[in-house]
Amino acid sequence: MVGRARQYELIAPVYDLVSGEWPVYRAGRLAGVSGLRLSRGDRVLVVGCGTGLDLRPVHDRVGDAGRFVGLDASRAMLGRAGRRAASLGWSGVGLVAGDATRPPSQRLAEALGDDGADAVLFTYALSLMDDWPTAWRAAVALARPGARVAVVDMQRAQRGPRPLRALADVAMWSGGADPAARPWQAVEQQCTDVDRADLRGGHVQVRAGTLPT
């Protein structure tokens, strides 16, 4: 088990309750999925997929013919994601255990099928990884040329009431995120046609763009 993923092994049973999803983080997730510009049947690689909170918004767009391949270092988080996939009745879900900085690329490629991923999604995951650029490179290597990629992540809030900004700090600290990581820079630097969202006083940052063809 790698680095900060260890703590998720412990909090998996309560993650959905304590993660601040509805008041804070849902908006960024939906903006990120929207920025992927998904079509029916698309195959989506989701890195650090956790309990699968991205499953429903992705399924709404790709439908039963689409595929969701989730990678996470915590088997307990993946167990939750598996239950969520079962409750959706979606057979196109593949969940793979592994470290995103040294991913089981062969297994992921097999789960994605020919040509690779049509889209890659990172929601609130890269800023937890000590070497997020390596995780980014490994994931985009599994995407087809011209795929869309979205990074949804966090930094210290820059605007808004002081108590809410303090709460954002607590969320980053307790979740193990590095507030200085700014992994959305990879989208800015390597993609074209970039969609941007700056939410929750700047705490939540979303970038989605197109990889080179």
Number of Cβ atoms within 10 Å of the Cβ of 58: 27
**Residues 165-184, mask of contacts with ligand SAM (x by CB under 6 A):** ----------x---------
Side chain identity at residue 135, one-letter code? A
**Residues 128-147, mask of contacts with ligand SAM (x by CB under 6 A):** xx------------------
Closest CA to 125 of 202, 172, 57, 177: 177
Site residues for ligand SAM, window 63-102 (CB under 6 A)? 71-74, 77, 99-101
- For ligand SAM, the closer CB: 128 or 208: 128
- For ligand SAM, the closer CB: 57 or 92: 57
Q: Is 48 in the site for ligand SAM (CB under 6 A)?
A: yes
Sheet holding 67-72, edge to edge: 93-97, 67-72, 43-47, 117-123, 143-154, 204-210, 192-199
Token pair for 30 = 């939906």
CA pair distance 75, 9, nearest whole angstrom:
7
Binding residues (CB under 6 A) for ligand SAM: these are 2-5, 8, 48-50, 53, 71-74, 77, 99-101, 123-125, 128-129, 175
